[in-house]
Amino acid sequence: MFNIQGRVKSGLGVIAHSTVTLWAAGPGAPVKLAQTQTQDDGSYTLQGSRPSDDSAVLYLIAKGGQPQGGGDHVENPAIALMATLGTVPPQRVTVNEMTTVASVWTAAQFLKADALSGKALGLRIAAGNVPNLVDLATGGLGPVIQDPLNSSQTATLATFNTLSNVLAGCIARIQSDACSQLFAQATPPGGVAPTDTLMATQNIARNPSNHAAQLFALLAAFYPAPAQARWRPVPFIPYLSFAPTAWTLSLVYSGGGINSPGGIAIDAEGNMWANDNFLVGAQSTIHQDFGGGVSKMAPDGKPISPATTGYRGGGIDGPGFGLAIAADDKVWTGSLGGRTISVLDRKTGKPLSPDTGYNFGGRLGSIQGIISTPGSDIWALDNERDQIIHFPQGDASKGQILGRTENDKPVDGTLQVKKPFHLAIDQSDQIWITNSGSNTVTRFAASNPAKAEQITVGYGPRAIAIDSLGNAWLANTFGHPGLMQKMEVVFGKVKAKMEAVFGSPLSPAESAAKMWIAIYELAVKYRGGDVSLVPAKSSTSQTFDGAKSIVGPWGIAIDGNDNVWVANALGRTVTQLCGARPENCPLGAKTGDRISPAGGYFGGLQIITDVAVDPAGNVWVANNWDMPEEGFKKVPEPALSTRFGANSMVVFFGLAKPVKTPLIGPPPAQ
């Protein structure tokens, strides 16, 4: 049994005689559980039996009613509000603009009008993030959106309030034509105008950059500032002072040992795993660092791994970009500082590899990319020594090194890679490896590595992702023609400066510092970078720069619509490109076109590395660096000596078509 009491209200007053319905959402059509009407004071009570399916997500819809504040106080059929409750209904729920915005943005990929439907995991993830944005009992702000990382470090709080203020203007009919003004700006490209506030809210969430400035202008139209007043008479503060480029909502999550997260991955329960380059609280620099562990967060951002250290042991010491979650619930990662490959148990985080990890008798260098294949093989990349490591069926006792080097010189002439960084496997069981030290990607059949081919792409490719059609997408950190030559010049200047300070020859750590400083200076100065597409079964590539919005790209991900998400490391933004199925893109867009706004999506982002899509369509982004200017120093400023690595993840709600996780091989077509 359930007994829910609460109130339906607007920021400008309660709503009387509104019809309140409790629904249970699952894979099919939602099931009505109870219905009632609000009293004159906006109060309601709902009683009934819980659904037989314990995994069903419950939600409230309030329609119509007479707003008791604001405008004319007569019936407003355009009112449609929502509150997503989760699998266990709370005893008290306020339904208002804030609960509506929170519920719609987190469940944007599962809503159609007032019907919520989708896979159980995705719905639970969406519902679990609602309380971070809003307090369901009071209808006020939730705890996470008000915490120090979000309230003053990003514009999310002001964006959330501004959306709620605009909805309130329509709900209370603060002007007689307030709803028609809102609906005109909330009409999707090529679509029809909404007829209620819930449909309008969904349209904005799914088309966040459409009419962005015009929607912002409604704030001034609905709430003109009185003469001599400093603020607008809005129900929710603070509000935006400047028009956003897109109405996205993102939150910054931290804890669980997260510090300078490199590679990230989403597991079967929607938890996020991250490789931490540095240890929390350590005075790490590019010259001398204290390696971190592996962090784990719940889908709602709550840390699961231990604070400060994360998960350690099994040879983990400063893991890099590679992180793979295998079907047998093992988590594979490779360390930069430890020069080893390690394995953790996905459920407990306990190490399964030896204390030294798997290091092949000390023959490994710094490990970057690592994947698990649909056939259960594990492939990893030695970025430092140009080597490829293969564990057939994930059996460490059968591990072998391919493309070996000795004394930094190649041994096997048939399979050569240059600073291999990331890898992927396609539907034809072909392995793709990005060569970050060149402008090529290596491709070979997993069963025959000796027969490899080199395909020309942009310069400095980092991450690679395969879409459901077998196309390969690569993030080229430099990319643009001519930057390779400019890079060599910058490398030379940085080397000369460092040799003057530290002497010659440079140590391995100093050589690594030289490389990172040059990469940073080059990408910042020339704003280089692009994305390459190698069509399935092709040996040629196409290049896209997102209308100049791609800057120093690092991570790349494919969503359930085959659209492409690019983490612009030095641009501090995320760019979304139309993928190989334009029918899933905005009207008129073609493959490679930028979907995101000109400045990209940027809420809460610093210098970033990886990007991943979860089963609710949330886009997770790793904040890797905070203050590189301190991390590049031999001795940083004491007060800033722990600020080289960033310490957070950023989650953009409901922006992408969901994918099934963990991602083992390419995502299936949706």
Query: For the domain that residue 447 is a member of, what is the CATH number?
Result: 2.120.10.30
Max CA pair span of the chain: 83
DSSP-assigned states of every residue in 584-648: GSSTT--TT-B-S-TT-B-TT--EEEEEEE-TTS-EEEEEEES-HHHHTSSS--GGGTT-SEEEE
User: 124 with 257, same domain?
Assistant: no
Rounded (10°) CA dihedral 134, 136, 140, 142: -30
Query: Element (H or E) spanning 486, and its range?
Result: helix 483-502
Amino acid, single-letter form, for residue 662: P
Within-domain flag for 615? yes
Residue 22: give its domain's CATH number. 2.60.40.1120
Within-domain flag for 594? yes
DSSP-assigned states of every residue in 322-363: EEEE-TTSEEEEEESSS-SEEEEETTT--B-S-TT-B-GGGT
Within-domain flag for 601? yes
Which one, of 168, 322, 311, 178, lies nearest residue 235 by Cα?
Answer: 168
Q: Give the pLDDT confidence score for residue 355 in this predicted structure.
A: 96
Bridge-partner residues for 473, per DSSP? 465, 533
Which one, of 596, 368, 337, lies nearest residue 464 by Cα?
Answer: 368
Report the alpha-carbon angle 172-178-182, nearest 5.
Answer: 115
Identify the residue whose tokens are 């000390």: 362
Q: Is 527 left (phi over 0), alpha (psi -120 to 50) or beta?
A: left
Within-domain flag for 502? no
Within-domain flag for 273? yes
Q: Give the pLDDT confidence score for residue 356 in this predicted structure.
A: 96
CA distances from 473 to 196, 263, 476, 487, 580 (A): 40, 17, 10, 23, 10
Which one, of 95, 113, 76, lies nearest residue 9 by Cα?
Answer: 95
Q: Give the pLDDT confidence score for residue 403 in this predicted structure.
A: 79
What range does the domain containing 281 cover?
251-480+528-652
Mean pLDDT of successive 10-residue stretches along the chain, which has 670 residues: 95 97 97 97 94 94 94 91 96 98 98 97 98 98 97 96 98 96 96 97 97 98 92 96 98 98 98 97 91 98 98 97 97 95 98 97 96 97 95 97 65 76 97 94 94 93 97 90 62 65 60 64 72 97 94 96 96 96 95 96 95 98 94 91 97 98 82
User: Which of 100, 133, 166 represents a domain boundary (last residue)?
Assistant: 133
Within-domain flag for 276? yes
User: Which of 117, 133, 149 represents a domain boundary (last residue)?
Assistant: 133
Q: What is the pLDDT of residues 24-33, one digit of tens each?
A: 999 999 999 9
Return the beta strands (E) in 359-476 as ranges.
367-372, 378-382, 387-391, 400-402, 405-406, 409-410, 420-425, 430-435, 440-445, 448-456, 461-466, 472-476
Q: Which letter, b or e, does each residue of 628-653 get, where b requires 16 or more Cβ atoms within 10 Å of its Cβ? A: bebbbbeebeeeebbbbbbbbbbbbb
Q: Give the pLDDT confidence score for residue 72 in this predicted structure.
A: 79
d(CA 580, CA 591): 5
User: Which of 107, 133, 159 represents a domain boundary (last residue)?
Assistant: 133
User: 122 with 260, same domain?
Assistant: no
Q: Give the pLDDT confidence score for residue 524 in this predicted structure.
A: 63
User: 454 with 305, same domain?
Assistant: yes
Within-domain flag for 199? no
d(CA 161, CA 214): 17
Domains in the chain: how many in total?
A: 2
Residue 628 token pair: 């590189």
Angle between helices 97-106 and 120-133 (to 10 degrees): 140
Bridge-partner residues for 531, per DSSP? 475, 544
Q: What length is written for the chain?
A: 670
Q: Which letter, b or e, does each residue of 48-64 get, where b requires 16 or more Cβ atoms within 10 Å of its Cβ? A: eeebeeeebbbbbbbbb
pTM, two decimals, is 0.95
Q: Three-state SS string across 569-602, please? A: CCCCEEEEECCCCHHHCCCCCCCCCECCCCCCEC
Within-domain flag for 318? yes
DSSP 237: S
User: 261 with 125, same domain?
Assistant: no
Q: What is the pLDDT of residues 603-614, one digit of tens each?
A: 999 999 999 999
User: 449 with 578, same domain?
Assistant: yes
Contact by Cβ (8 Å): 246, 208: yes
Q: Give the pLDDT confidence score for residue 406 in this predicted structure.
A: 57
Which one, of 237, 259, 262, 240, lies nearest residue 249 by Cα?
Answer: 240
Q: Three-state SS string across 241-269, please? A: CCCCCCCCCEEEECCCCCCCEEEEEECCC
